[in-house]
Amino acid sequence: MSFGYKKTLFRGGVHADEHKTATAALPIVNNFPLPKKLYIPLQQHVGKPAEPLIMVGEKVLKGQLLAYSQGQISAPVHAPSSGIIVDVNDYPAPHPSALPIRTIVLETDGKDEWIKTQLVDDPFQLRPEEVSLRVGAAGIVGLGGATFPTAVKLNMGRENRVDTLIINGSECEPYLCCDDRLMQERAGEIIDGVRLMLHGMETESAVVAIEDNKPQAYKAMRAAAESYAQIQVIQIPTRYPMGWDRQLIRYVTGKEVPVGCRSSEIGVTIHNVGTAYAVHKAIRYGQPLLNRVVTVAGGAVKRPMNVEVPFGTLISELFDFCEVDKEATARIVMGGPMMGDSLPHTSLPTVKATSGILALTQSELKSSDEQPCIRCASCVSVCPAGLRPLDMANNIRINQLDAAVDIGLKDCISCGCCSYICPSNIPLVQYFKYASGEIVARQQAQHKSEQTKKLIDARNVRMERIAQQQREEELARIAAKAERERLKAEQEALV
């Protein structure tokens, strides 16, 4: 069935070297040895960190709630295996800074014993609101990298009466193949998750968009969706960053998402294929999000693979399992090489956002010898957001951040196309990441200053009010005393 979608020209982007052949043909490895300890951060999602409800020394079962969500934009955290809680403390985060964040340390018992899960006979008999509640309780977030709480997007889709659900199967980042293998091996479960999402959003149709360099995944997903007229599986061009939500929406539907708006406001919502699979497990079997498929690749990896690992597994253990040559590793990257984060060491845990871990050799890295700009405008031609990267970088160099914002810095998605294409090896995207962080820091400092000023002003008003009250009371006392003395004088005069 065709929904009459209007395919538009792809704006910007690059044909990056794919580096997928080492893992694309390998089935998902399911026998990863259970680590002795799991380090589970409470911040694995966009929004407020989860708040722990367990105690040190407490025994927990696999799937048990460890920390509950705080506020509307948050997600709970569950035990990836059974064992004993040995610590709740700060631990380095899987981030370039490796700054400490609050983390639960679980010592596994080797039993991998599940809590009793709640099965649903027919999940399509659940109210749409109930589907969202169960997805939220399962701690499911966007597994394409954004980690936005899925339940919130389902609710927004229902409230905004979204008419199209797009399932992102592009996986345009080089090296990564986890979504490709998931679609090849678990297509039926993904399609079931898509149907459940449609039910939860009360939406009529879905499009599964898969890049044309994944023919086996496309074939498997087409076969799985064949019986469901409301789901269409299409192929899209292989070009980075096709997975960017606004680019994908524009290509598939012909619609533009206005600046400052969410896609749901124009009737479209996007979810990742891994998210759909997690929804299937949560609604059908009551299983929260505890693990995911991770691509381990790069020139320093002797056994590249797509492996399913529990959250909280240290990267060092993953590298040992995949026989990574530590001496040959020049850079460790979480995610893909274009938008991923370069990590300082391997003693960091995998989290919900970990789609891949790369151990890259020096020969796989682009030269860092920066040369003067030759004004070729290549960065302008490849920018998918239609920005002028060089002009923004020039403003950032002279600390004119407001000028960089005026010409589009906030619209930059840090895709790295400009840095990738630059013949002078100018690290443009690094300038933009620095500037974005600096702007956020300045805004926070300004907000803190404004809040402090408000507190000082409020205190001054309060102190002035107290002083005025004291003056009035003093005047009242003086007046009362004068009145008493007058009355006393009158009485003495009468005597």
User: N- to C-terminal Cα distance for the chain?
Assistant: 114
CA atoms of 315 and 231, how far apart (whole Å): 37
417 is in an annotated binding site: no
CA atoms of 71 and 230, how far apart (whole Å): 34
Residue 131, SS3 per DSSP:
helix
Q: The tokens 């003693």 sit on which residue?
A: 347
**Alpha-carbon distances, residue 163 vs 83, 142, 148, 219, 243 (angstroms):** 44, 20, 20, 25, 20
177 is in an annotated binding site: no
Q: In the structure encoding, which two tokens stand for residue 16, read together?
A: 């990056």
* Residue 119 and residue 285 in contact, taking contact as beta carbons nearer than 8 Å: yes
CA atoms within 13 A on the CB side of 325: 13
Q: In the structure encoding, which two tokens stand for residue 345, read together?
A: 């060491």
* Residue 166 and residue 158 in contact, taking contact as beta carbons nearer than 8 Å: no
Helix 215-225 vs helix 178-185: crossing angle, to nearest 10: 40
- Mention every residue, 6+ apart, whose C-beta is less than 8 A from residue 322: 296, 301, 302, 303, 304, 305, 307
415 is in an annotated binding site: yes
Q: What is the DSSP string of 57-95?
A: T-EE-BT-EEEE--SSSB--EE-SS-EEEEEEEEEE-SS
418 is in an annotated binding site: yes
Helix 128-137 vs helix 187-201: crossing angle, to nearest 10: 120
Containing 207, the helix (H) or strand (E) segment is strand 205-211
Q: In the structure encoding, which two tokens stand for residue 391, read together?
A: 């002009």
- Mention every residue, 6+ apart, whose C-beta is less than 8 A from residue 59: 82, 83, 84
Which one, of 354, 333, 336, 335, lies nearest residue 345 by Cα?
333
How is residue 110 annotated by DSSP?
Answer: S
261 is in an annotated binding site: no
The annotated binding site is made up of: 373, 376, 379, 383, 412, 415, 418, 422
The annotated binding site for [4Fe-4S] cluster is made up of: 373, 376, 379, 383, 412, 415, 418, 422
